[in-house]
A and B are shown apart, each in its own frame.
Chain A
Amino acid sequence: MTDEMKKPDDLRIGVFVCDCGLNIAGTVDCRAVAEYAETLDDVVAVVRNKYTCADPGQNEIKRAIEEHNLNRVVVASCTPKIHEPTFRNCVAEAGLNPYLFEMVNIREHCSWVHQREKEKATEKAKDLIRSGVARARFLEPQIEEEVPVTKAALVIGGGIAGIQAALDLADAGHKVYLVEKEPSIGGIMAAIDKTYPTMDCSI
């Protein structure tokens, strides 16, 4: 399998290690991790930040891309569920295809869950970055397909929430289909006499 692997020849990977204040640096020895990242093949720049997601951190990424002519970016910080879009945008702003970015989670999956095992957490962070860099070597630029959005909305459920959502969208000028299971809209709200906190009628 390994011999089949093809990776671009001219790899220039930048690794950005985030302290996340003390969220990561309080457990993981980020300096040691950054130093380790420098030893990895194809890594040409390593930057450590207090908060990589903040503007100064993002500016560092953009500067490093330009200064070191990076063609792959690895950020070791929090879960991609939060900041993957942030960093994809960031590298795109620096002129790199957003799919040449890879994220390594050393917070939710490392520093926060191994708070009493600092050394082992540091080793784990190194392993995860090594894995992220290995994946980054094989990243390719991708072009996202753009699809049109049909200019209409479906609201399922005609209780108070569905009614309000339908009215707001309709008032904004959009076509709305409101589907209600029962013979009338109103939902549970319609069966309530007075409602708090204003103590007025529900209908």
Chain B
Amino acid sequence: MMDVGRHPNITLYSYSEVDALTGFVGNFHITIRRKARYVVESECTACNDCVEVCPVVVPDEYQQGFSSRKAIYIPFPQAVPSAYVLNMEECLGNNPIACGKCAEACEKKCIDYDMQDELINIEVGVVIVATGMEVYDPTELDEFGYTRHENVVTSMEFERLICAGGPTEGHFLRPTDRETPKTIGFIQCVGSRSENRGNPYCSNICCMNTVKDTLLLRDHYPDIEAKVFYIDIRAFGKGFEDLYKRSREGGVKYIRGIPGEIEENPETKNLLLTVENTTTGQLEKHELQMVVLSLGLVPRHDGDLLKRFLTLSNTVDGFLMECHPKLKPVDAPTRGVFFAGCVEAPKDIKDSVTQAGAAAARASILLNAGKVKVEAITSRIIEEKCNYCGICARVCPYHAIMEPDRKAKKAPVVIQAACAGCGTCAAECPQDAIEMRHYRDEQYLAQIEALMAERPHEHIVTFACNWCSYPGGDDAGTARLQYPTSCRLIRTMCSGRVDEDFVMHAFRLGAPIVLVSGCHFSDCHYIDAVQWTQKRVERMWNKLERLGIRPERLQLDWISAADGQKFARVMRELEEMLKTVTMEEIKHTMEVLSNGKAEKKATAAKKAKVKKKTPTKKAKVE
């Protein structure tokens, strides 16, 4: 930690957050908000004079609330930077009349009540996301009585109670009577591996953390009797099994079964655990003086903004999704962005360090190369078709299209470097005046025609986006989930690319069912392009209905990249729907849509409605 503070190549912004982040690989623009610390970091010598005079006493979050700190404080003795911070919400007021004792006491005069947040703009080529995780809050698991029984503590609290730098200076005491307990129980998988409450995944670190805790206890207090209640002990890493064996041999009792209930003896404050020992099948009762809940890890609750900035998405467990689970485990799907540590999945210190090294190496490749090629899939305005309506500029999630000038007959301009290639503009353009490089309209129409060339009535034309639903289909394949063969898939970069023309063309050529699929709203790789998909599909449902075509035949699903289960389920469900579409119905649709008049009438009916709502003049071209 000290090395970071003094490294000449590192600028450390502590007590700071990313306020805004734009740009793309090689060219990220970041605004960092440096929160007011009210102490001049560079001047502070950590002399402690201010702390001594501060009259405000609050629980110390570093010590898990077991001890207290002042409103001006240093988080912990080894903190980097080694400077105090004043919590203004706790401070008696930045009015020196109210208090102002610390400013008075400070010899260096580095306390500044008027300090403001500072915004700093930086430019970088790569971003490493290492925002970590949070620890599970066991409050909802009422059977363990964490909020009711004082002697039930969490594994994080245990760390402070056993630590020489902790509130008890390393004397391990239980909260109620401040005596060293003679018996202690550890409950594993709290918040992990449960389908009902908490999370279904294994949090990776908690088994070994408990093994470590029992060894620490044995070293300091050989007389404490420790019991561990578990589902499985997962000691899979190098040297882990050895530690586990040492723990068992040291007399720690491992009992397979998670207690169903913890009751407190109101007099002794001892805890009575009821557990079904799944090895013997017996119901057991254990009286213990203290219980430690071995907490799992959960994704950060405040990561959404950053996800938006970097267009990242989650796997089903809520941790960030990597580019490829085996081949690119530290790369984000967004180029130039890498993951390190628990933000990607729960992991221990060794794995975090390993991944951080890998992320740094991957990032170095780009930094050393000094340049990067951008995929040639951006959008292009066909000026002669453009009627200057400006819809494209309004729908672009990246604001990469400059508004047209209707009077000057100046077509909109696409800023190539900012365009990510989602194709929403091309799909929304009423004039078909936008072409996506490498993913042009005629290519999609040709694909649809090819798929509909034989037995069209047997096929479900499926549009799947490159980032979620297509890999969701891959996931179904990798897991060998079997589903009916009727699906005929067409890949689009984003579901926002799926033009109304594509869907109508498929129906015109005899498709019984069309499925549009993309990322969940929170996962959209093109910021919010997916909302245009939703709007457009809703519009198409209305249009189909006006044409006398069952809207049910156009289906919509959001399928995440890790959700092969859903992909297969949707395919099975659509197969059932397919059976309900009769040949007469398909023929009728084909006739209606081939007869340009009917379609135009339906469109005109809609336009008339729109016209009523918005008095904007429609271009004469129509």
Contacts and interface: CB of A to CB of B under 8 A. Distances in A.
Contacts of B83: 183
Given A156-B128, A186-B76, A146 B373 contact: yes
Given A112-B478, A144-B376, A180-B15, A117 B471 contact: no
A161 B212 contact: no
Nearest to B211: A196
A113 B359 CA distance: 34
A57 interface: no
Interface string B448-467: 01110110000100000000
Interface string B481-501: 111010111110000000001
B524 interface: no
A156 B15 contact: no
A179 interface: yes
Chain A, interface SS category = mixed
Nearest to B126: A153
Nearest to B483: A113
Interface stretch (B349-357, B388-396, B580-588): B349-357
Nearest to B479: A112
Interface in B468-516: 470-471, 473-474, 476-478, 480-483, 485, 487-491, 501, 505
Contacts of A151: 125, 367, 370
Given A109-B473, A109-B489, A193-B216, A144 B16 contact: no
Nearest to B41: A183
B202 interface: no
A195 B76 CA distance: 18
Interface string A129-160: 01111110111101111111111111111111
Interface residues of A, number: 96
B75 interface: yes
Contacts of A120: 485
B123 interface: yes
Interface stretch (B24-32, B550-558, B602-610): B24-32
Contact of A183 (B79, B129, B437): B79
A130 B453 contact: yes
A180 B81 CA distance: 11
A203 B359 CA distance: 22
A192 B416 CA distance: 48
Contact residue range for chain B?
35 or more
A172 B372 CA distance: 19
A198 to B, nearest CB: 8
Chain B, interface SS category = mixed
B135 interface: yes
B451 A127 contact: yes
User: Interface centre among A160, A168, A169, A183, by most B CB within 10 Å?
Assistant: A183
Interface in A180-197: 180-197
A191 B160 contact: yes
A135 B443 contact: yes
Contacts of A113: 476-477, 480-483, 568
A54 interface: no
Interface stretch (A2-10, A11-19, A44-52, A65-73): A2-10
Given A1-B445, A109-B489, A167-B7, A139 B438 contact: yes
B13 A177 contact: yes
A80 B483 CA distance: 21
Contacts of B242: 197
A104 B541 CA distance: 30
A174 interface: yes
Going nearest first, the 6 A-B pairs with the smallest beta carbon separation are: A161-B341, A108-B477, A162-B130, A184-B79, A142-B376, A168-B360
Interface of B: 1, 3-4, 7-18, 24-28, 30, 32, 37, 62, 64, 74-76, 78-81, 83, 85, 122-133, 135, 156, 159-160, 162-164, 166, 208-209, 211-212, 215-216, 237-240, 242-243, 306, 324, 327, 336, 338, 340-343, 348-350, 352-353, 355-357, 359-361, 363-364, 366-367, 369-376, 416-417, 437-438, 440-447, 449-451, 453-454, 459, 470-471, 473-474, 476-478, 480-483, 485, 487-491, 501, 505, 568
Interface of A: 1-2, 4-7, 79-82, 99, 105, 107-109, 112-117, 120-121, 123-124, 127-128, 130-135, 137-140, 142-197, 199, 202-203
